[in-house]
Amino acid sequence: MASSVGRPVNRVEGVDKVTGRARYTADTPVEGVLYAAMVQAQIPHGRVTADSVAAASARASAAPGVVHVVTPLNGPPLQVLPKDLTWDLPLERRPPLSDLTVQHVGQHMAVVVADSPENATQAASLMEFDYIASPPQLCAADVLDHPADDDDPDALIRHGAYRPDHFVKLTEEKLQDHRGPLAEPAGVKVAATYRTPVNTHYPIELSATIAQWDGDHLVVHDTTRWITGERRALAAYLDLPEDHVRIVSPLVGGAFGSKSFLWMHVVLCAVAARAVARPVKLVLTRNQMFTSTGHRPRTEQQVALIADPDGTLVSIEQHTLTETSTVAHFCEPAGLSARMLYRSPRLDVTHTVARINAPTPCFMRGPGEAPGLFALEVAMDELACATGQDPVALRLANVPDRDQTNGRPWSAAHLARCYTDGARRFGWERRPAAPRSMQRNGVHLGWGMATATYPGRRMPASCGVVTDAEGRVRFSAATHEIGTGVRTVMTQLAADITGLPLSAVGFDSGDSSFADAPYSGASQTTATVGSAVFAAAHEWRRRLGTADPQDAGRLAATLSFTVSSDGAPDTGAVSQSFGAHFCEVEVDEQIGRVAVTRWVAVMDCGRVLNPKLATNQIMGGITFGLGMALLEQVPRDPTTAQLIGEYYVPTHADRPDFDISFIDGEDFGLDPIGVRGIGEVGTCGVPAAIANAIYHATGKRLRDLPITLETLMEPDDTDQES
């Protein structure tokens, strides 16, 4: 039988999705359900008065259909999360509704439960509070100008700025150990500051939760892509044994990072359901998503590159200032690519995080690499101009043969081929070096390129195997279908190893009662869960292979077992995905319009299990990066932190003509399948490629995102620092 791996198999749930049969969290039918609506704070810092909370609760309670109102005055005591859950993740140790203080606009202050969504929303609108405002710190500059002198490392609310005490700091320490402090060398230097704004994930599916109690056992249907982690955190807040909590999330309608962690509305939905002894359903509004489910925080990045006259790098510096909330740790690790992407004898990479009065940020597609590569890759374009080198040639001259952080070789890397193949497919050799040299249809034409990279990751996971009533072999894991096609790829992989047709194999996910698996993020699911499926499928074959042929059918029908897979093996090599982006833009300077018209991407992501899904992921990632480059920023009043405008995202009309290809080389240093993650590397480098193309079209070097009509038409006063 022909292998199913490597074929463009259609999504196994595709028909259900396009016909409306697919069931997402908010579609889940639950008998006797009540409906909840959130009430949120409207100031960035201070506290609400107890009298106003009591009065607001009384008004809401008297409204039609209202069953219960939960506030800080009557909410049950919740537990503080243990530090091991919050050490390097954006989980809030401070329980929701634990006091009357306000740490950011949009902080949950009450939950209204009613007999219909309309009645709950109407009653929630009646809950207006009196505030005693305190001076907020709304940006990193506020924090640095007024440093905290009373920061308690064990406090649930913390202030001031800090150096990250998790993976970023450890990386920086290793970097210093490996490189040692070196004086700045002589050479051609470019130095500038690059800024990225607050971005929000904006998935199609709103975050939704349905909580249902049976005694002291809790079932939660939730829009999450970390059901096992949510189970643990929710059990900790509610002081329950972990096995008393079950999380169900069969399909997720987009996440991009926003549904990776336990957010406070989920906890409050469970609290409300326990209070009314009925199932409770909560669906956040689109506006509430801006303050309740994370975001990509602002960054200000100072980048300095020094090279010999021939373009050989001799120094790379990248210093990131970013922000988190006062109630949770999070660092946008924008400098991680600078530490390893290019060969240099001197590397200096640091991160500083300021705690501000804003909602807690979190991972967003390409965390660290997406904003960090914008700065680094635009700086590389500036260095190419300063040294008179072609941008592709400059990068080829500095491709490393190993990770610069630790000196370890790559497990498999084809970055140089990404550059050369991409340049050939794009026709880069026809690009004139001078800006403003190309026109088409009366507008300026520009060509730009940038590097893409993202780590290859794999974590421990398990996979269960059973045979269902129809005779199909079903594999299962507590992972998630977030729209990437994981069910399809796992089904292909299982069918390929067992030797069964696709129709005789299935893969189930989205239930914490299944075999354990980590969160679906960091581009690790295929390598992680795929390794568990790989092991389980081989175990299925082994067990049948040792059986008497006459008993094989009976044995296959009764097999039921679970197999575990370890994390990435310690081979001494580093797994990293790479790619090269080439793009064409048209710039109409009369009206400030940028159109991205053509895109070539060559990606090195290990073995490609399904070329249709892989191409879809890269196209989506590029479109995601296009939004980051030209459209997306959360518009907030700088003094009140209130939303004051729209959040724009790309549409099909904004997409360019795509030419996507893969260097299909296995990476068995990461997993037995030879794959690496593909979901995020497509976004990384995209904003820089667009910014570099705009420079080539106009001669304007724009270092702040997004590049809008206003910034494009401003006088060019952003001369390079030196």
Sheet of strand 438-440, all strands in order from the earlier edge strand to the far edge: 438-440, 443-455, 576-588, 593-604, 657-662
Number of domains observed in the structure of the chain? 3
pLDDT for the residue 547: 65
Residues 452 and 463 in one domain: no
Residues 672 and 629 in one domain: yes
Residues 702 and 677 in one domain: yes
CATH code for position 248: 3.30.365.10
Residue carrying the six token digits 């998503």: 289
Residues 473 and 443 in one domain: no
User: Which tens digit of pLDDT belongs to each residue from 361-376?
Assistant: 999 999 999 999 999 9
Residues 426 and 513 in one domain: no
Residues 409 and 514 in one domain: no
pTM of this prediction? 0.95
pLDDT for the residue 552: 61
Contacts of 161 (CB under 8 A, 6+ apart): 140, 143, 144, 147, 352, 353, 354, 355
Residue 635 in any domain: the answer is yes
From 268, 293, 318, the end of a domain falls on 293
Phi–psi pair at 405, nearest 5 degrees: -70, -45
pLDDT for the residue 155: 83
Tell me the three-class secondary structure of 612-652, residue by residue.
HHHHHHHHHHHHHHHHHHHCCCCCECCCCCCECCCCCCCCH
Q: Nearest CA to 464 among 455, 449, 474?
A: 474
Residue 648 in any domain: the answer is yes
User: Which tens digit of pLDDT belongs to each residue from 95-107?
Assistant: 999 999 999 999 9
Residue 148 in any domain: the answer is no
Region of 94 (left: φ > 0; alpha: ψ -120 to 50; beta: rest) is beta
Residue 172 in any domain: the answer is no
Residue 352 in any domain: the answer is no
**Cα–Cα distance, 263 to 152 (Å, whole number):** 24
Q: Nearest CA to 438 among 554, 650, 587?
A: 587
Residues 559 and 599 in one domain: no
The DSSP call for residue 151 is -
**Cα–Cα distance, 693 to 449 (Å, whole number):** 7
From 565, 598, 613, the end of a domain falls on 565
Which two structure tokens, joined as six digits, stand for 485? Answer: 């096609």
Number of other residues whose CB lies within 10 A of the CB of residue 339:
25
Residue 436 in any domain: the answer is yes
From 533, 565, 597, the end of a domain falls on 565
Residues 117 and 247 in one domain: yes
pLDDT for the residue 156: 86
* Cα distances (Å, whole numbers) of residue 519 to 345, 509, 528, 602: 36, 12, 10, 28
Residues 602 and 699 in one domain: yes
pLDDT for the residue 720: 47
Residue 175 in any domain: the answer is no
Q: Nearest CA to 489 among 1, 2, 6?
A: 6
Residues 509 and 610 in one domain: no
Q: Residue 79: which domain range?
A: 25-134+204-254+259-293
**Cα–Cα distance, 329 to 18 (Å, whole number):** 39
Contacts of 482 (CB under 8 A, 6+ apart): 225, 252, 254, 255, 259, 520
Contacts of 24 (CB under 8 A, 6+ apart): 205, 208, 223, 250, 251, 252, 253
Region of 352 (left: φ > 0; alpha: ψ -120 to 50; beta: rest) is beta
Residue 159 in any domain: the answer is no
Q: Which stretches of the chain drop beneath a pLDDT of 70?
A: 1-2, 88, 149-151, 153, 165-182, 547-553, 717-722
Residues 579 and 677 in one domain: yes
pLDDT for the residue 260: 87
Number of other residues whose CB lies within 10 A of the CB of residue 87:
12
Residues 672 and 638 in one domain: yes
Number of other residues whose CB lies within 10 A of the CB of residue 116:
12
